Structure 1
């Protein structure tokens, strides 16, 4: 083998056309389709399309993926509503393609796009209300259990005091 064989081989590889198929290790780029930004212009959350999967990213981390972007878009709309109620200004923007998808889904339910998104986001409001009611019930149950426990403790202490007095009366005096 000659000393120049490696350089010849490398030169030949560079001249060959690139392979027509994508490498398995290459990640497809994520295309943003919905972005929730705060008043400073920072991205709070986003929905993107990678291949055929819709990805939800919150705070720069991917939180989940799905075949349908509507539940994720409803979450972002709900988050925007909650932030608005708390006095923070956030802006939800979505791409033309996602906008068309929303219009098609809304037309199936005889609604306009904004009403459809509001309806989807309202489902999260009912979930929040149910969670709040469950937490309130749990707090009330915990308070009642604590009150019962303290009453039981007082009853045990009173019974112990009565038993101690009875034992003292039963003992012979010296």
Structure 2
């Protein structure tokens, strides 16, 4: 081997065009299928398809993934409803492929797509209602515990009111 062979080889490598490195686990691009935007046009949340996996992104961060995007879409629809109740204007748009998936699932249950999606959204609203009912029950238990702990000769503690006049 000559003393100049390494120099020649290095020179040849520098002259060759750069080629991309192909990795075995290269990330596939994410295709957006549902986008929730606020009144300024900023994306609040989105559902995307990466390969065969559906991803939920909120605030620019991936929050979860699933095989079925319909529950995630119901969650975005519920979020949209909550935002509108609070006076914020939001817009939820989704792809024809996602709409077709909803149509197929709704047809399996003998419902329209709107009815099917509304049923799923109402499940999220029911969860919030359960939390409020549990909180009211916890408040009632605290009042009952306070009344039981009071001495027998003391006057009972007034019951918690929810701004309702007592007769």
Shorter-chain TM-score bucket reads: 0.7 to 0.9
**Hey, what does 1:116 align to over in structure 2?**
116
Q: Please give the alpha-carbon distance, in whole angstroms, between the structure 2 residues aligned to 1:86 and 1:141.
A: 31
Matched residues in 2 for 1:11 and 1:102: separation?
Answer: 55
Q: How far apart, CA to CA, are the structure 2 residues paired with 1:116 and 1:11?
A: 62
Give the TM-score normalised by the residue count of structure 2: 0.78
Structure showing greater radius of gyration is: 1
Q: Does 1:63 align with 2:67?
A: no
What TM-score comes out, normalization by structure 1 length? 0.75
Q: Which residue is 2:24 aligned to?
A: 24
In structure 1, the residue corresponding to 2:33 is in which secondary structure? strand
Aligned pair count reads 150
2:138 matched to which residue of 1?
138
Mapped to 2, the partners of 1:95 and 1:138 lie a distance apart of 43
TM-superposed CA distance for 1:92, in Å, is 0.8
SS of 2:23 mapped into structure 1: coil
Q: CA RMSD in A?
A: 2.5
Whose helix fraction is larger, Structure 1's or Structure 2's? 1
